[in-house]
Amino acid sequence: MKKIFVLYTLAGFFFLMQAGLSAQVSIAFSASKDSFEIGEDIPVELKIICNYDQVSITEIRFSVLDSMGIMNYLFPDDSLFVNAKETDFDISDYGQWVNNQKKEFSEKELQWSESSQNRAFINNMAIKIWDPGTFRVMITELQYRDKTGKINQYFPKTNEALLVHILHPPKNEKKELAPIDPIIKRQFPEVYLSYFLLIFSIISLIIALIDVFKNRPAKPTNWQFPEKPLQPAHEIALKKLNKLASAAYHEKGEIKLFYSELSHILRAYIESRYNIPALEITTDELMKGLSSGDLTEPLKNRLESIFHVADLVKFAKAEPTSEVHIAKLLEAKDFVEQTRLITVVKGSNQ
């Protein structure tokens, strides 16, 4: 019995230590109300509570996410919210933070009002949301330095966000008609009439001369200019993919630039090949726009995998290995080769 009691005691002590470490940082938002109109200033108080005095905030990503987009997925506590859609919003008052015209802030740009209670970092700011609906104002990514000097990442939970409802402004149904101005009668001077007749005659003469020259029979010629064929979409895409491979951005540490170029090349090819506005829509909308008649299921899954990795790198700061970079580049080339449009040149005997 004593051994069992000791084991339970050690397990409980270990659990409390883990819970204390995981609760080192917590986030709280507050506002004066929960409903606002489109474009109205939303005053927000952001409070980040740290349990240890040695903790300092080194980087923050501030976002406003579509609440319904979050609810459509089951997120774990450390979710990156990669499937949630960020709405159109602006920071109208940065509070004590440095106005960097962005939504990501480094340690030098983060100024705080500190509270003695659990070392709370506080900033009062204001935002404007330009879409109607229900949204979550939240920090999607936070980095902090612990008491040992180590940089840690913290991904907030959905319950650490501020839920706001954005409404359309009320319509003003009462419209007063402006008074009608009195009608002013003016006489048309005779000199204007002569000017009008002169201009009309000149325009009529010009139209007649153009009609004569246009209908004049052209001299027969035997000149024939060969039509310059347009470069096929797959040739353009393969040329750009080879150029991307030669640039070797992933070897230089420019991983985000590599995947941005890779995604852009594939989207431009799909837009030209399948007549889909691939450069203007999200990955989910693009995959839904490609019907089963356009692509086989294996090709569609391969394309979705490439875009999924590219989105993780661009929006969630993922860092795949070099083997993944090379594999996705080869998959992109193979996709273009297998979906290229084969055309027959007019007059060819082949």
Task: Output the tens digit of pLDDT for each of the chain's 350 residues.
Answer: 444 544 445 444 444 444 444 446 788 888 888 899 998 999 998 888 876 555 778 888 878 777 655 444 334 443 444 456 778 888 889 888 888 777 788 877 877 776 666 667 788 889 999 888 888 888 877 887 877 778 888 777 777 888 888 888 776 656 566 677 777 666 656 667 788 888 999 999 999 888 888 877 666 555 454 454 578 888 898 889 888 888 888 778 888 888 899 889 989 988 888 888 888 888 888 888 887 667 888 888 888 888 888 888 888 788 888 888 888 888 888 888 888 876 644 444 44
In this structure, is residue 239 part of a structural domain?
yes
Question: How much is the pLDDT for 73?
Answer: 38
From 149, 167, 185, give the residue that closes a domain.
Answer: 167
Q: pLDDT, tens digit, for every residue of 54-89?
A: 577 888 887 877 765 544 433 444 344 445 677 888
Which structural domain range is residue 270 located in? 233-339
From 123, 143, 167, give the residue that closes a domain.
Answer: 167
Same domain, 158 and 243: no
In this structure, is residue 306 part of a structural domain?
yes
From 167, 198, 220, give the residue that closes a domain.
Answer: 167
In this structure, is residue 84 part of a structural domain?
yes
Question: How much is the pLDDT for 17?
Answer: 44
Q: Give the total number of structural domains in the chain.
A: 2
Question: How much is the pLDDT for 199?
Answer: 93
Same domain, 163 and 238: no
- 79: domain CATH number? 2.60.40.1930
Same domain, 241 and 122: no
Q: What secondary structure, in 3-state letters, does the chain show?
A: CHHHHHHHHHHHHHHHHHHHHHCCEEEEEECCCCEEECCCCEEEEEEEEECCCCCEEEEEEEEEEEHHHHHCCCCCCCCCCCCCCECCEEEEECCCCCCCCCCEEEHHHCCCEEECCCCEEEEEEEEEECCCEEEEEEEEEEEEECCCCCEEEECCCHHHCEEEEEECCCCCCCCCCCCCCCCCCCCCCHHHHHHHHHHHHHHHHHHHHHHHHHHCCCCCCCCCCCCCCCCCHHHHHHHHHHHHHHHCHHHHCCHHHHHHHHHHHHHHHHHHHHCCCHHHCCHHHHHHHCCCCCCCHHHHHHHHHHHHHHHHHHHHCCCCCHHHHHHHHHHHHHHHHHHCCCCCCCCCCC
In this structure, is residue 346 part of a structural domain?
no
In this structure, is residue 195 part of a structural domain?
no
Same domain, 129 and 251: no
